[in-house]
Every structure is written in structure tokens, then in C-alpha cells.
Structure 1
Amino acid sequence: MIENKVNHYGNLCVEMYEILHENAMEDELKFYLSYAKKDSKILEPLCGSGRFLIPFMQLGFDICGVDASKEMLHKLYLKAPNAKVIESDIYEFNSKQKFDYIFIPSGSISLFTDIVYCKKILNKLKQMLSLGGKLVFAVDTILTKNLNNNEYKISASVKTKEGFDLILKNKSFYDERSHVQFYPSIYELYDGDVLLKSEYMDFRIYLYEYGEMDLYLQDIGFSEINAYSSFDKKIAINNNSEIFLYECCI
């Protein structure tokens, strides 16, 4: 199996993520809900701490989540103890059940920086769809690439519920050849001036050109592919968008 460069989410990373991104943005949530039907079997791979999965549950949808992060799933279970969630790498995940709708929001597909591996993941998801089912997901685009920054700078700072200061510092580097944006990151937890804990994360994402993902999806065998540049389903026509949203049918 081809190895993908994996982003590892430690406790401090998950804590900051939960503080900054506990709830989904309204327009993004509405976009993914627009494909859901009450009689559908729904799967959310890479569900994280549940900011999409939990609203789907609350609205009465039959949804299952998959995520490889114990830390993320711990946060999810604290909020929704009855959630149907499986701890698994999506490549290793197997289900006898077919799904009518599979969605991966927030550009998480871009976490698979090895394109061969990414195509294997997309093909696996296609095999899990029922006849007429839809796969909907977002990718980050080349428009979001950052100029190189070789020194760690503070990019976020939050207060934890215990009153500690949680700080994120990162560098950035974009590799033109591989289309990968690198964000070496350090999370630091402080009690006043005292450093309590620090974690390093080698975060990286693949940034897509207009039309690039379309070709991969065609190769995989999706019969109908729509690419949007916004949550109001405006058709993508060029690289002038920070995200591409894909709606794929078999």
C-alpha cells in the first residue's frame, strides 16, 4: 500500500480545533444537508469531533462517522454519546452496508497529499456507494497557497476552559512541484508565563488546480461530476476560488 503523509492530531491541536471550530459554518452545513434525505444511509469519513455529524444526528438523519483520531472522537463522544462512530483509518475501513450519501467537508480530502493514495481513497468511497448514491466533498485550491515563512509566528491564541493560554505557532512552505503546502506547527500551553506542555505537528495539505480533481474522478469511474466554487453551488470555471466542492454520482 502506498503511504500517505498523515497529519497527526495531538491533544493540544484537538483542544484548539474544538475551541475555534466547534460548530460548522451555517452556509457550509446547509450545503451538505441539501443532499441528505431522511431515508438515506449517510457516511461521514474523517468526521473529527462531530461539528457536521452531530447536527445531522439532531435533525434525525441516519449517519455514521469514521475517524482515525482517538482525540477527536473523544471530543465527539463527550457531546454525543450515542453517535455511531468507528475509529479507523478510512483506507482500512470496511462496511458491508452501502451508503446513499457520503460527504467529506472542510477540505479534508486535501489531507491526502499523495495523489495515488488519494485516488485509492476516492475509489474506495465509490465502492461503498449504493446505486445512484452521491459522494460530496471539498478540496483546498492553489489560491490558498502561502508565501514561504521560515520563522515560527503566532497564528492563533485561545483560552482553555481551565483558563490556560493555548498558542499555535507555525511556519509555511509551498512546494510547487508536489502542490503540497507545509505548515510545521508548535502548540504551546501556558499557565501565565509557565510552559505546561508543547506539541509539534507536521501539518500539510495538497492544493488543487482547477479541473485537476475532475480528471481523477473521471478515471475512477464516476458517471456525473459537478464542481462548484461556493456553497451556493456556483459552477467553478477557473482557479479563482479558495475551495472546489465536488458532487459525484455513480
Structure 2
Amino acid sequence: MHPAKGFFDEWAGFYDANYEDQEIGDVEFYVNLAQEVDGPVLEVGCGTGRIYLDLLRAGVDAYGIDISEEMLAILEQKADEADLTPSVRQSDMTDFVPTRKYELIIVPFRTFLHNVTIADQKAALRQLREALVPDGRLVLNFFVPSFDVICETYGDPKTQSVTHRGDEYVVTDVSRIVDVCNICRISHEATTTIGNW
């Protein structure tokens, strides 16, 4: 099992609450890209629908995959509430079987970085290439922290408060370098604590 699956299955209920106040600012970018193509679009790591649902609202022929059934369940509930019809399925980007060819594949919000081994990265790129039409586009998002950021902040816990379904939680995030030779292998841990803090 891909290590991201268990994390996102457990984290799904808190995901939207954790990110709702953050200015990520990428939804319009991906919607505009998708509207430029004349054919289907695949979002890899569509999660709870932060971008995917806006693709549907914009009339894009959008499909999605995500490794977490729990995240997809939230996406489908939100789509139902918005009277949208999603075409999503649970799948791992390293070994999914494309059901069609896509004009555009997007992998937003550092999702590709959950492939922490070179073997998984290559496997995902092979699958994504297989899913594209011959002149299709693959758009990936990466986060490459500066050396100063790594030295100053990695290993130090960062906490924030999150309200989910009327309960308050403290979310602690710790970034650690797992492999100094392969800097893209960074571990993120998030824990929640119910109650007063």
C-alpha cells in the first residue's frame, strides 16, 4: 500500500478545515488551463475537490483519481450538494489504468511529491504519459524549499488550530528530511488533539 493512502484516509475529515483559510491561489490557474484544451482533463490527487469541483462548475470534461477513498467520499458529498456529477475513482498514480486518453493531466498542490522513491516517481510518470494523447500536456506542481528554510524550520513542530464539525483541534505539522541524498524525500506528520489547548 502506498504510504500516502493511510495518511489521507485518516486525514480526510480534517483536510478542508485545515486548508480553508490558506491562500493557495491555484484554482483559477488550473481552471484556465483546462478551458484551453479541447478534450478531457484528468486531475491526479483530486482529493476532496478543491480544484476538481471548480473544473466541473466551469464546464470542463473533468475526471479525477485519488489514492484515498475517504477523500473521494467527501468530494462526492460536496458534488452532490452542489448538484454536480463527478467522474472520479480511487487509484494510485503509480499503477492506475487509464480508461481514456486525456488532453491535459494536472497534478496540483505538490501531490506528485508523495512519490518518495525514484522508482515510484518513474512509475507515475510512465502511467501519466500513457494516459495522455500524443500532444497532450502534463502540468505538475513541486515545492522545493530553500536551504535556509530547511535549516531554520525542518524538525520544528508547527501548530495551528482547526475547527471541524464544531470541535476544536490542534494540528501539529513536522517536516523532516528522510534522506539527505534525495532532498525531495521529506516526511510530513500531522497529529490532532481534541480539547482545550
Are the aligned partners of 1:23 and 1:51 in contact in 2 as well (CA < 8 Å)? no
Greater displacement, 52-61 / 82-91: 82-91
Q: CA deviation at 1:8?
A: 2.8
1:155-214 superposed Cα distances (whole Å, 9 cap, x missing partner): 22111222x111112433224223122233322223x48xxxxxxxxxxxxxxxxxxxxx
Counterpart-to-counterpart distance in 2, 1:74 and 1:103: 21
Q: Relative contact order (alpha carbons < 8 A, sep ≥ 6): 1 or 2 greater?
A: 1
Query: What SS class does the counterpart of residue 106 from structure 1 fall into?
Result: coil
Q: CA deviation at 1:116?
A: 2.0
Q: CA deviation at 1:51?
A: 0.6
Q: Does 1:112 pair with 2:115?
A: yes
Greater fraction strand = 1
Q: Does 1:161 pair with 2:165?
A: yes
Are the aligned partners of 1:42 and 1:99 in contact in 2 as well (CA < 8 Å)? yes
Q: Does 1:101 pair with 2:104?
A: yes
1:101-157 superposed Cα distances (whole Å, 9 cap, x missing partner): 00011111111110121011012101111121100011110325364436xx45221
Query: Residue 74 of structure 1 aligns with which residue?
Result: 73
Query: Residue 149 of structure 1 aligns with which residue?
Result: 155
Q: Does 1:186 pair with 2:191?
A: yes
Any stretches of 5+ residues in structure 1 without a counterpart?
Answer: 194-250
Equivalenced residue count is 187
1:27-49 superposed Cα distances (whole Å, 9 cap, x missing partner): 41222223223632100111100
Query: What SS class does the counterpart of residue 127 from structure 1 fall into?
Result: helix
Q: Does 1:21 pair with 2:24?
A: no
Greater displacement, 9-18 / 103-112: 9-18
Query: What SS class does the counterpart of residue 97 from structure 2 fall into?
Result: coil
1:56-75 superposed Cα distances (whole Å, 9 cap, x missing partner): 00010000000121111111
Seen in structure 2, the aligned counterparts of structure 1 residues 11 and 132 have a Cα distance that, compared at 3 Å, is closer
Query: What SS class does the counterpart of residue 26 from structure 2 fall into?
Result: helix
Amino acid at match of 1:158: V
RMSD, aligned CA: 2.6
Query: Residue 140 of structure 1 aligns with which residue?
Result: 143
Counterpart-to-counterpart distance in 2, 1:169 and 1:124: 34
Greater displacement, 75-84 / 11-20: 11-20
Q: Could you tell me the TM-score, scaled by structure 1's length?
A: 0.66
Query: Residue 7 of structure 2 aligns with which residue?
Result: 9
Seen in structure 2, the aligned counterparts of structure 1 residues 84 and 69 have a Cα distance that, compared at 3 Å, is same
Counterpart-to-counterpart distance in 1, 2:104 and 2:122: 19
Amino acid at match of 2:181: R
What is the identity percentage for the equivalent residue pairs of Structure 1 and Structure 2?
A: 22
Return structure 1 stretches of 4+ with deviation > 6 angstroms: none
Counterpart-to-counterpart distance in 1, 2:21 and 2:11: 16
Query: Residue 52 of structure 1 aligns with which residue?
Result: 51
Are the aligned partners of 2:94 and 2:120 in contact in 1 as well (CA < 8 Å)? no
Greater fraction helix = 2
Counterpart-to-counterpart distance in 2, 1:188 and 1:168: 7
Any stretches of 5+ residues in structure 2 without a counterpart?
Answer: none
